[in-house]
Each structure stands twice: as structure tokens, then as C-alpha cells.
Chain A
Amino acid sequence: MKKAVRFLVIFSLMVCFVSFGVNVGAKGLVDQASKARVKVIDVGNAGSFTGAAASPCMEIFNSAQVAVDEWNAKGGIQGVKIKHIMGDDALQPSQAINVAHKFVADKSMYGVVGPPMSHIAQATLKIYGAGNLACITTAASKPSLTEQGYKQFFRVNARNDAHGWNCALFIKNYLKAKKVAILNEKVAYCVNMASETVKGLKKLGIKDILQETIVAGSKDFSPVLTKVKAFKPDVLFFIATAAPDQAIGVRQMKELGIKATFFGTEGAKDKKDFIEASQGAAEGAYVYHFGPDIYAIPAAAGYVKKYEKKYGTISGFGPTAYEAMNILLTAINNAAKDGKISRKEVIQKLHEIKNYKGILGFPVTFDKKGDLEGSATYFFKVVGKDFKQVAIMTGK
């Protein structure tokens, strides 16, 4: 008798659990491809979290984490928690391919923020494309990335052709230069940025241009800078990916007694790795950036407060990442509203995003290619230990 009672109790408990489980399953989110219940929504973050670009990329990751934490605090997406997964490519395209394969193979992954480097984004486009996995880059600016017909690739930053033209305008109209030297690294972003700027400068009537190449991480730019010195330019546009190289560049430029104005890229907008590392040489130098001064935008105050409390100061790569993650999660949420979700649906919902008002100070709408509609470039000057926004160019 006792045995029978025990059996009955256990059996009824089991029935209880099983039916409870089925109940949740019926109410929860279902993946359209596998028909399985979605237990967790993974979002990837592909970037160079080790290597010379580690500090901007960690800012990207941490900013996206702020967005994920906010969504999870609100209960996730349709009651399902979001997991933010790091994929480190160490600034190596070969490594990035492994990251892309890993992300695509993750059945519960519905979108990726990144990769932020053009040459790395280029290497992974096809893999993410074949996996229909939405990617929103926060910094990759090579135009051709969105010209190859891939539907899954979006960006919340302007393209190089916009930046190049804006930089040319800045060099001519703001810096009043007549002779320009351009040094660029031999990677996709830098080569492209250089050619777009040269194109813009020529259009503006500046024909006196010296263009030379540099190797990232070589630590000694004095031979090529000596050549620049003999050219006597008004402006030296130093197009490198990471801040440490530009800190060396500006330091060796001053050391050689070159009188030109140093103009660096968005990668140099880093207080520690550029201003501090240049040991005073960066004073008065200019950099351009795809993002505005985040401290001047009221809507961004909440993000800034949360980020700085947990991770320290923001250099400029974080805000677009926070925005990108929020847009991605909004699209995933829109796709999940009907209780079913698929990667393709997420991509479709991203294309439907119109006038998303986030923290960047301008509404985000993607065009057919996945590019941002209306592109601005922001210019900063090094004053003391900080960057001061001095100009905004919007192609005019």
C-alpha cells in the first residue's frame, strides 16, 4: 500500500512537471527554422578585443552590454533572457572567420554587433550572409561593404566616401590648407579613406598632395616623415587604424620639426592611447570621428551615467555600439512579437526600422543597402587632456 501511494505521488508530480513544461513551451518563443522553443536569445559581439584596437573594441562591447542589461532588466525579449557573447578576432581576419562560423553555428543567435574593422567585416560578410545572421557594425566605414548585395549587413556609422569628402572639406575650409600630405596604412579602411579624401581634395582644387604608406605597429615612422618634412605640407592627414600608431606619428612629426597640422582619424580619438601616449605632442592636433560629442546630447545622459559608473570614461566608440545593440534588440523584439522568430525575420525587421530615436542625436533609418541615411562627420581638436568638438561637416 505504502509503495502504491509513493508511486502515485511521484507519478502525479512528474505529470505536473511535464505539463507545466509543455505549458511554458506553448506560450514561449519558437524558432521558425528548428520549431524548437527558444530558451535564450544570443546576440554576438564580434570585435578585436585583444590587440592594438582592444580599448575601442572593449568600449564597444561594454556599451552594448549596457543596452543588453537594460533589456534584461525589463524582462528580456518576450520573457526570454538575452545573452551577450564576445567573439574576439584579435585584429586578424583569419581569426574573425572562426568567430563568424561560431556565431552562425549558434542556433540561438539572432544578431551580431560588429565587426568594427572594415577589412575584418569584409572577410566575414559572406559567412554571415550565408547564415542570414544580421550584423550591425558600429565603425566599419569602407563603402563597398554595403555594395555587394548582402542583405544582413547594416551600419550606424557613416561611410568612408562621406567621411572622405567631409574630411576634404574640413582640410580646405577649416584648416585652410593648400598643401596636404597623406600617410595611410595598407588596410582596407585606411587605403579607402585616403583615396576618398584625395578625390575630395582634388575636387576642391587642392592638387599639391603627397601620398605615402605606413605599416601598422612598425613604431618608427621617421623615414617616411622625413620625406613629408621635405614636402613642407600645411596639413598631415595620418590615416591609421589604432591610436598607439598615431601617438607615435604625432610625436615623431614634432620631433623632426615638421610644422604641419596633425590630423588623425577616428581611431585616434582616445584620451589615453593618443593624447597621453603622445606625451604632449598631440596638443593642437585634430581628429575626425563618426560620432558626435556624446556629452552634449541630452538623450544620451542615461547611457553615459551607466557606462561611466561601471567602465570609466567614454572615448567615442561606445555610443554607436549602444545604439546598434538597441536597434538590433528592437528588431529581434519586433520579430518575436508573434511568438515565432527566425534570423531572416530579424533582418527584415531591421530594414523596416524608421527614424529610430536613440542617443546619437539624429534619427536612424537604414536605406536599402543597410547604410545610414544622411551622414555627418564630427571634428575634434586636442585641447589639454581632452577633445573639443570644433566642427561638423555634412557634405556641404
Chain B
Amino acid sequence: MDLLLRELPQQLINGLTLGAVYALIAIGYTMVYGILGMLNFAHGEIYMIGGFTGWWILYLVSRNHQIIMNAAIVIGLMVVASMGVSAFVGMLSERFAYRPLRKAPRINLLLSALGVSIFLQNFVLNYQGAKPRVYYVSSLIPKSIALIHIGPVVVSFMRIMVVLITFLLMILLTIIIKRTKAGKAMRATAQDLEMATFLGIDVDRIIVLVFIIGSALGGAAGVLVGLLFTQVDYFMGFQAGVKGFIAAVLGGIGSISGAMLGGIILGLAESLAVTFLPSAYKDVVAFAILIIVLIFRPCGLIGKEVQEKV
């Protein structure tokens, strides 16, 4: 029990950071599903591309693993650039792989998404190689504040930053969705695509916007993971994609606040599972939670039951 108390606060912090990243990925899934009813399996790869973009920016502004600019500017640049590149790739995938299939059966869209995923993965493998790329982050954060000790708990500055950036992005997203005209149009399109068209909403543009926002958040998650765990590789999108998807379903797919909640819960559950069970069961717990939630609340934690249209 004593052992447990020593471990628990630290695991909460581990879980919260991981959960924040899951949440960012989950939002992309949930937004696209909300509007098109499709599972964008390429979303994990969009996240991976964000990670690589961040690496390139850091690499370009570093000499001998030391940055040559102000750290805050570098981190800002990394986040913005990776969001931009990921958004662009997301937009392209929508234009060339999903839009031509919008009237086709759902399964075609799903297969197309899988194709995009495999394409992007191999594209990066081909051009960036299979070896993990290392984020040399030690010069980004001054040593004196890199690790913060609170009693027995250690919190790295990077973790705090990751959580802060994540929450900032989530607040920004909420404002866009709730307060802007485009957000209103998005909500309308999600509710009823055809009706939205009748009301004069340019549905194509809204869908593109959804892909841009979702992919940008995925890209941000990629760069944050790179900063936090210091390595990115071409295959990282697969596992993260699966976890993001679980988080989205857990919270109620189609619901943005559900995705946020689902991500945090999943991250916490995984970390705490390691405390109570052998670590090999970490992923088992994640999937077990998913199954239990789906049995008792098929539409997720805060998803709404949508009546089938006749």
C-alpha cells in the first residue's frame, strides 16, 4: 500500500500527459466521423507526419544538437509548421482519396482511407528511412527548470508544456466550433449534410475545413510526442491511431468533448493499469474498458443516441 501511494501521483501525471496526446488525436477521428460517418484510418499517419515535420524544423535550426534561436520561438515554429503540413496532407487526402468516393458505399471510403494510410507510411519510409529520428531537446529547456520536484513526484517541464499546449488547442477548437460562423456551419453539416446543402452551406468547403482542423490537431500531437518522448519513426502512427480511435469511440464518436474526455480516460487507465497489474496488461486494460463501455453505453460516454433516419 505504501508502495502504491508513492507511485500513484506520478502515474496520474504520466497518464494525464499521454491522455492529452490521445485526446488530440481522437478529435481528428471524431470530427471526420461526425461529418462524413467515415473512419479516417489515415489519421495516425497525419500525426506521424506532424512528428517528422517537427523533427525537420528542430534539425534545421540546430547546430550540433544545440538550437541557434530562442527556444520559445523554435517550439512555436515546430508546432505551427507541423500543424500546417499535417493540415495540408489531410486536405490533399480529402481532395484526392475521399471526395471522389463520397457517394460510394461507406466501405469504399474506409478502404480508401486504409490505402492513404499505407501510402503515407511507405512514402515516409522511403524518403526518411526506417530508423527513428531523434529530437535533440536538451537545449530547448534550461536544465534548471527541466525537472520539477514536488515531494516524491517528478514533473518535467516538457510534460507541463505538452498538457498546456493541448488544452490551449482544445479551447481554441471549442471557440471555433461554438462561436464562429464556420463552426456553426460545421455543426449543421454534421447534423444533416443534405439539409445543410439546401440551406446554402458550401458543404465541400466545410468538409475541407474539418479535415484541415482535425489534421492540424493530429500534427500538433505528433510534434508534442516528439518533444516529450524524443523519437519519431514512420510506424508510430499505427499504434497512436488505434489508441486515438479507441479514445474517440470511448467518449462517443462524433462528439468533440467526448474525444477529449475519452483520451484523458484512456491515458489514465493505461498508466494506472501498470500500477495494479503486470505491465504486459497495459493494452489489455485499454481494450477491456472499450468493450465494457460499448456494452453498457453503445454510443460512448457522452455520445448522443442518433435515431436512424428512414
Contact = CB atoms under 8 A, between A and B. Distances in A.
A257 B154 contact: yes
A55 B131 contact: yes
A279 B230 contact: yes
A213 B10 contact: no
Contacts of B187: none
Interface residues of A, number: 36
A194 B149 CA distance: 33
Contact of A52 (B15, B131, B278, B279): B131
B233 interface: yes
B280 interface: yes
B149 A257 contact: yes
Given A223-B279, A244-B131, A229 B10 contact: yes
Contacts of A353: none
Contact of B134 (A186, A230, A247): A247
Interface in B242-284: 270-271, 273-275, 278-280, 282-283
Interface in A222-276: 222-224, 226-227, 229-231, 244, 247-248, 251-252, 255-257, 273, 276
A186 B7 contact: no
Given A220-B229, A277-B231, A226 B14 contact: yes
A219 B229 CA distance: 6
Contact of B279 (A50, A214, A277): A214
Interface in B5-37: 6-7, 10-11, 14-15, 18
Contacts of A90: 130
A255 B231 contact: no
A28 interface: no
Nearest to A230: B7
A208 to B, nearest CB: 13
A351 B137 CA distance: 51
B14 A227 contact: no
B56 interface: no
A93 interface: no
Contact of B131 (A224, A231, A273, A280): A273
A213 B6 contact: no
B229 A248 contact: yes
A374 B93 CA distance: 58
B291 interface: no
A52 B10 contact: no
A373 interface: no
Contact of B6 (A54, A230, A277, A279): A230
A325 to B, nearest CB: 24
B136 A219 contact: no
A276 B135 CA distance: 11
A212 interface: yes
Contacts of A219: 225, 229, 231, 236
A226 B147 contact: no
Contact of A230 (B3, B138, B156, B270): B3
B131 A223 contact: no
Nearest to B149: A257
A217 interface: yes
A79 to B, nearest CB: 39
A218 interface: yes
Interface of A: 50-52, 54-55, 90, 186, 212-215, 217-220, 222-224, 226-227, 229-231, 244, 247-248, 251-252, 255-257, 273, 276-277, 279-280
Interface of B: 3-4, 6-7, 10-11, 14-15, 18, 65, 125, 129-132, 134, 136-138, 147, 149, 154, 156, 225, 228-231, 233, 235-236, 239, 270-271, 273-275, 278-280, 282-283
